């Protein structure tokens, strides 16, 4: 049941991806909501996250987001969203998200290149990275399958 709590950030990331596709901006309110979710998760003990995990995931996300913003032409909203995801999942979970996100971003980059675009919204890649995390290693699909049994 605790893994199902991770579906709320999925909804927030889906909203961010849709807004990013339409406006090329990610509202700060979504990142703030992720941070509040992470703080609540640590306080109430959801999915086993602790305060040190929230803080270290947030710091790692800020560091990686800053580097991507300065060196890879990421948007500020994308960088802040990565920090929010880091706060929700902690540093190890964030590394899995970044792996899946990089794969999704590579596919999106190829699609953009084939369409003749020089840049593209990266919110969908962050969403797909989170979805990849939910499938592996979180295994949320197993929990959802048990609910239907």
- Predicted confidence at residue 140, as pLDDT, reads 72
- Percent of the chain with pLDDT strictly greater than 70: 92
Give me 60's structure tokens.
Answer: 């790692």
Q: What is the mean pLDDT of the segment spanning 46-52? A: 85
Residue range 6-18: mean pLDDT, rounded: 95
> How does pLDDT run across 63-92, given as a tens digit for each residue?
999 999 999 989 999 999 999 999 999 999
Q: Where are the domains of the chain?
A: 2-147
Q: Compute CA distances 55 → 11, 29, 36, 117, whole Å.
A: 22, 19, 12, 37
């Amino acid at each position: 049941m605790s893994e199902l709590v991770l579906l709320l950030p999925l909804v927030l990331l889906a909203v961010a991806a849709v807004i990013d596709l339409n406006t090329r901006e990610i509202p700060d309110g979504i990142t703030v909501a992720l941070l509040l979710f992470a703080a609540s998760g640590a306080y109430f003990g959801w999915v086993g996250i602790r305060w040190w995990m929230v803080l270290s995931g947030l710091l790692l996300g800020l560091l990686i987001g800053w580097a991507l913003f300065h060196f890879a032409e990421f948007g500020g909203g994308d960088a802040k969203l990565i920090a929010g995801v880091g706060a929700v999942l902690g540093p190890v979970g964030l590394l899995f998200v970044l792996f899946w996100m990089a794969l999704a971003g590579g596919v999106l980059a190829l699609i953009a290149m084939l369409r003749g675009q020089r840049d593209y919204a990266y919110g969908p890649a962050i969403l797909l990275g989170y979805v990849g995390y939910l499938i592996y290693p979180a295994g949320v699909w197993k929990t959802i399958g048990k609910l239907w049994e």
